[in-house]
Structure 1
């Protein structure tokens, strides 16, 4: 059986037994992927949590708490709307100045936008200007997230032995529960340590400041890989360079659409077990926020454990079969979700723990489930845009839609939303299978 070490050159050792700087081991790539993704998710989850605990009072005090939360969630969605544009801008920067320049610009923009949020005045001080600045910073986050695509997940997947592709695909996703765990932990500490007045005055700003330090660490961890000759060599071997949109879309644009819908069940679930339930509890039982956030931390730990399991299982049964099975499981979860979330603390705990396990299993394999369909010279850009579209279609508006519908029609709306994502995933996987079969027959 091939192993990860057999896929890469054996590291060369210097006179003291240390690796040459030009060598690139799979463990180094994995660490870079996990650290980089965790820092990005931290920034995004800090905003998501603040959209529930902070922004309705600080930026939207002129409306009721529910409406303020809905407004905050609309700004939350802006980052996902502009993310594809950030990807295209980043690709152009890469063509002109190289990968390291693109990554540096993107992560500095991400960290600066997040820190700037912590410096913003509230509505009572600056009026609608404060809201506009918050939206502008959120757009900056979205552009940076799109521009930060470094190709490391694709490099991992392409160098993975065929029987371990599920495991390698999972590594790029592991940053999600880690980023959520850290963001929730920081917010929980600040929220529970201060009285509400101090928290809304200055305490909420601390997690945004912490984001800059985390981004600096992530930047150096990823640049350490990206600037090496071995990294560039491996990217060139697999033709992992930006492709022009006018060439990609006519030739293989349909794979972007299929890939986005194939991951929809997982992405729809993503914010419905992280951001949305916190908003529901904050509105219905504000006194229970502390306990609920602690349970979310446990749920994130469950997701972090489930993700490696997803890699092991997917390598046994096949990634697409596994995603299809998880879509069915998410559909079944959708029917029980309203009863659990509305069933008091025991039901809410079950909702979170089961939901996070399903999220870990499904999200661990959702990225790039059909990116192997792209021709080599389209794969780098195609994989990035597929992820962007999956976020936009499945996750961007999930919190605001779920909260609005649930507040008007009850939690049963969750069932409809999650079921629609599961159905889209199953249909997309079916279409993808037919296209592959047709391609084989044609060959």
Structure 2
């Protein structure tokens, strides 16, 4: 019943809008006359027939992981008295150039949701010609490009919506050292740290925000790149321009690099566990469990630095056995003049003693909502060069 009909588009006209899930940082970038939540009306002239299509869609939507989002898609069909029960709406996610993942399909009153989208995707049903869907509890894996297809008997047409997430990109390498991960291992490493492999556009945005990293890492499309804000000889020659350096697409099994991971807002809180004495790794894990939490993952610490504005000048254990600490307001005694998450390497788990960062998952179902405040922008941390210290750094209180 839901088989795709591959026919050339004739009468069905479909209109979609690319959406960007933005953070509080972009609230101030809206036009002064754009009211919050106001729906804009766009008039579109339809070819030589003279028909006018009126499309309504939100402007910029402010949300992130855990929130809800509408993927807008409207259509006009001729003749206008076509039986609605004979119109099929299908949403798929474009996972590769020639690969698609089924998300949602509806034929009249019959609807079906697929895979991880079950229980989270619904038709908006805002009136005739509306094929928009609502995704609830947005996940990191929801990021990407979606196709909206509307079929009317033997005719069909498609439109695309780009779903983006506001978050933070961070470089990652394991205890084994630099350039130890093939593509699949890099993908797993990011997932284990509550993140996904970053896209090129996410890495480029991080570079615009000041990310400077001299080691190449995998991205989600299988390419290997790295961002340079301050060119220098040890990072591809000093006389080359700043930018995102690209090694191109590499062999996913045989070649090894670091990873660039991406994460978004947490449904919970990261905190430094206050204790009278420092502990080794095993003791740190037990301490967080006793406090009703778990040792924080690297991605969770970066998300807390970015969204929670966690600022702590104390080094602590993380789940992967590394020692890090987040700095929003730089001061000389806390690792330099730039904000960032300082990394002190992977010390001996048994004999080295530090504090610990714990993560407690929120029990509030609305914790991942879309509400943000404009005041957050003033202290929003951005990447700068030098935001990660050498392994042997000691300037920590």
Structure having greater relative contact order (Cα 8 Å, sep ≥ 6): 1
Query: Which interval holds the TM-score relative to the shorter structure?
Result: under 0.3
Larger relative helix fraction: 1
TM-score (norm 2): 0.25
State the structure with more CA Rg. Answer: 2
TM-score (norm 1): 0.23
Larger relative strand fraction: 2
